[in-house]
Structure 1
Amino acid sequence: MELRDPTPEDTDRIRQMVDSSMTTSYRLSPQQIDAVTQEEFGDDALRRTFDDEDAVAVVAENSIDDADPTVAGIVLGSVDGDVGEVRWLFVDPEHRGLEIGTELFEAAMDAFRERGVERIQATALEKNTEGEQFFEHLDLERTEERTVELGDESFVEYVYTEPSAATDKTDSAKTDDGDIDFPDTELEDGVRTATTEDGQNVYVDTDSDGASGTQAPFFVTYLDEEWGERYGYYCANCGSLDVQMDDMERLECGECGNSHAPDSEEYDDSYL
């Protein structure tokens, strides 16, 4: 494997590799992947990045079974003042398991430090099923959630920061009442209840860790205070009980769009 600066001749291969990586590792439709790829990795966009003195761009070139070397991964970042941020990191699925992702990330860190960056962070779309634990593997902590516009569509993006700089870490699974507002609920004698559309009280199990969401956690609800008969889920972002679970155990709030993907979807260590 060789790490090097990208060239304009790499753009077609980079786009092909990004499309393949997103198809494998992102919960996005083919139309969404195409829109993101064209907007962020089109010829003009890549050339602007390559020519930007504040940008960091490194590709990994690799060969398999004596084939000709090809671009197998890319990391793109930017420097803004004393902050260096990794914006995108992709590894071709056929070249995973060789620590290419880790090597690319470390190459970006070296480039940031050469420019005197004091704080380093990385971003990943919430729809990136490997992003969370990949950055945790690199000892980064999720500290922020924000919304980005890509291809005329809004996406939730997570921000990860080095522990020494993570003073405002977001922990979406905390259950302390001081950290979560629990909208549209009532608290009596330490028991929190919510009310269904037909006026029935359900009990919110705030003693559990909850299921992390893109905007706030979800909590299991019960029809009785003894947690005997389960009702469904409560969305701590908007207070809605209109939470649906699909066959893959993904949760989504019908009111605000807050969503949760189970841990089994979040990480494949071959990504490293």
Structure 2
Amino acid sequence: MEIREPEPAEAERIREVVDSSMTTSFRLSPAQIDGLVDDQFADEAVADKREDEETLLQVAETGAEIEGSTIAGFVEGRLEDGWGEVRWLFVDPEHRGKEIGTELYETTTETLRDRGADHVRVTVLEANTEGHDFVERFDLEHDGDRRVEIADESVVEYVYTDPDVDADLPDSTAEDASEAEFPETERVDGQLTTTDGGTTVYIARDEEESGTAAPFFTTYEDDAHAEQFGFYCANCGSLEVSMDNMDRLACADCGNTHAERSKESYDDSYL
């Protein structure tokens, strides 16, 4: 396997890897995946990234002995204010289990440090069901969330850093997810609330479940959070959220959905 910079003509193959990886591992709709791939990995977008001196693109090419030579993985990194950031990392599902993801991660972080990065952080979309466990295996810790706009979609990404790093993350135009506004809510005595037919419902900000469009939050009938009411959809502000016998949440108003991500269901082949 060879780790190298991609050639201009390889943008289409990169999109194929990204699309197949997202389809397998991301809790996003086909339309959301198409929009993200078109926004971030179209020919022009990849060309702009290749020309940006602060951006690092690398691909993993399999050897001829593995069903012929082909690009099986892709990673994007960037330098910013003394930080190196691993922004995207994808491995074609057909080539997982060969430590391609590990090799891409380690090569990219080493290259970013060689180029002057004092610290390295990794950003992972909340909807990436396998990426979080992958990153945590390198002893990185979840250092915060932020809401960003990608392809006209408001999504949450997790930021991971080394646990011993005592430095502020660089300023970002991204909105801190913990400070994002919630539709159809107001504060009552310092607590975030919404209403159901005129009845006040209390939203537990510390009881969050991931969603494809925005998180879900547990709601209560009382300000002491003793009697559970249901769930609140932070994408549209609805309380019309159902849960099936597999603990999957779905908003009846906007289609936002949630499926539990657990380390027990993590696929080691991602490495």
Shorter-chain TM-score above 0.5:
yes
What is the match of residue 17 of structure 1? 17
Alignment CA distance shift 1:269-1:186 (3 Å): farther
CA distance in 1, matches of 2:28, 2:57: 24
CA distance in 2, matches of 1:259, 1:80: 34
Query: 2:70 is aligned with what amino acid?
Result: T
CA distance in 2, matches of 1:254, 1:185: 26
Query: 1:268 is aligned with what amino acid?
Result: D
SS at 2:90's partner residue? Answer: strand
What is the match of residue 261 of structure 2? 263
Q: List per-residue Cα deviations over 1:131-152 (Å, max 9, x = no partner).
A: 2111111111121222222222
What is the match of residue 68 of structure 1? 68
CA distance in 1, matches of 2:64, 2:266: 24
Q: Runs of 5+ in structure 2 lacking a partner? A: 170-175, 179-185
CA contact (8 A) 1:148 1:156 kept: yes
CA distance in 2, matches of 1:137, 1:114: 22
TM alignment of 1:177-216, pairs within 5 A: 197=196, 210=207, 212-213=209-210
What is the match of residue 109 of structure 1? 109
Return the offset for 1:69: 0.9
CA distance in 1, matches of 2:137, 2:195: 41
Task: Give TM-score, length-normalised by structure 1.
Answer: 0.74
CA contact (8 A) 2:73 2:91 kept: yes
CA contact (8 A) 1:221 1:234 kept: no
CA contact (8 A) 2:194 2:203 kept: no
Q: Runs of 5+ in structure 1 lacking a partner? A: 173-182
What is the match of residue 38 of structure 1? 38
- Higher CA-based Rg: 1
TM alignment of 1:134-145, pairs within 5 A: 134-145=134-145
CA distance in 2, matches of 1:17, 1:81: 30
CA distance in 1, matches of 2:168, 2:239: 29
Alignment CA distance shift 1:63-1:220 (3 Å): farther
Q: Is 57-66 or 126-135 further displaced after alignment?
A: 57-66
CA distance in 2, matches of 1:58, 1:72: 11
